[in-house]
């Protein structure tokens, strides 16, 4: 939106698993009356993204993994291209003694389970003061056990499927690590 507001054209290359959302956005832009060629959607995998990074463009904005962000930074170094990187997105939640316990648990639930945890600001770590730890974990466990798992298009669903089998395997690998380190399911 800021690029468009300043009179620029935009090329958007979504993650290969989220192309339909971007194509819907393009249709909304068309319906809103934006001229052809102002918003352009290019779909594909990382190789397509690399072609865009190497193209004659003035600015690149990337949201995603730190490894890919580092690669983009290296590829654009010395080119004069403006670059914005939003990487990692694994910010911790800090819960101090004076926190509202219900608000803190709510934030942890939202930060970990919203969009099945498949957003760029997933809060994978929660640091809780020792004085609140037991009460926090009790409430978090109760709220987690009550999550409604189901079909993503059902309005009652609070946690849907992961986007790919590979992503599920990665998550289950983290679960396995947690169990090996002493966590219980």
The token duo for 114 is: 């919203």
Query: Rounded CA gap, 68 and 74, in Å?
Result: 10
Query: Rounded CA gap, 47 and 25, in Å?
Result: 22
Instruction: Please give the chain's pLDDT, 185 residues, in tens.
Output: 888 999 999 999 998 888 998 999 999 999 999 999 999 999 999 999 999 999 999 999 998 888 999 999 999 999 999 999 988 767 789 999 999 999 999 999 988 887 776 776 777 789 999 999 999 999 999 999 999 999 888 999 888 888 889 889 988 999 999 999 999 88
| Strand locations in 88-137 (E) | 92-95, 125-128
Q: Which of 53, 31, 35 is nearest to 44 (CA)?
A: 53
Q: Which residue reads 């993503």 in tokens?
A: 152
Encode burial over 52-74: b for 16+ CB neighbours within 10 A, e otherwise.
bbeeeeeebebebeeebbebbee
The token duo for 100 is: 């509202």
Terminal Cα-to-Cα distance of the chain (whole angstroms): 43
Query: Rounded CA gap, 139 and 145, in Å?
Result: 10
**Model-level pTM greater than 0.95?**
no
């Amino acid at each position: 939106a800021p690029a468009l507001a300043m009179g620029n054209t935009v090329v958007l290359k979504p993650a290969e698993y989220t192309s339909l959302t971007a194509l819907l956005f393009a249709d909304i832009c068309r319906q809103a009356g934006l001229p052809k060629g102002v918003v352009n959607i290019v779909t594909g995998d990382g190789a397509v993204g690399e072609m865009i990074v190497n193209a004659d463009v003035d600015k690149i904005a990337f949201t995603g993994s730190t490894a890919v962000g580092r690669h983009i930074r290296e590829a654009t170094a010395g080119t004069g291209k403006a670059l914005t990187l939003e990487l990692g997105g694994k910010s911790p939640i800090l819960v101090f003694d004076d926190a509202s316990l219900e608000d803190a648990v709510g934030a942890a639930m939202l930060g970990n389970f919203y969009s099945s945890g498949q957003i760029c600001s997933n809060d994978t770590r929660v640091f809780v003061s020792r004085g609140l730890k037991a009460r926090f974990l009790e409430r978090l466990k109760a709220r987690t056990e009550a999550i409604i798992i189901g079909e993503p298009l059902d309005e009652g669903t609070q946690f849907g499927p992961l986007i790919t089998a590979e992503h599920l395997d990665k998550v289950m690998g983290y679960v396995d690590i947690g169990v090996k380190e002493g966590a219980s399911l």
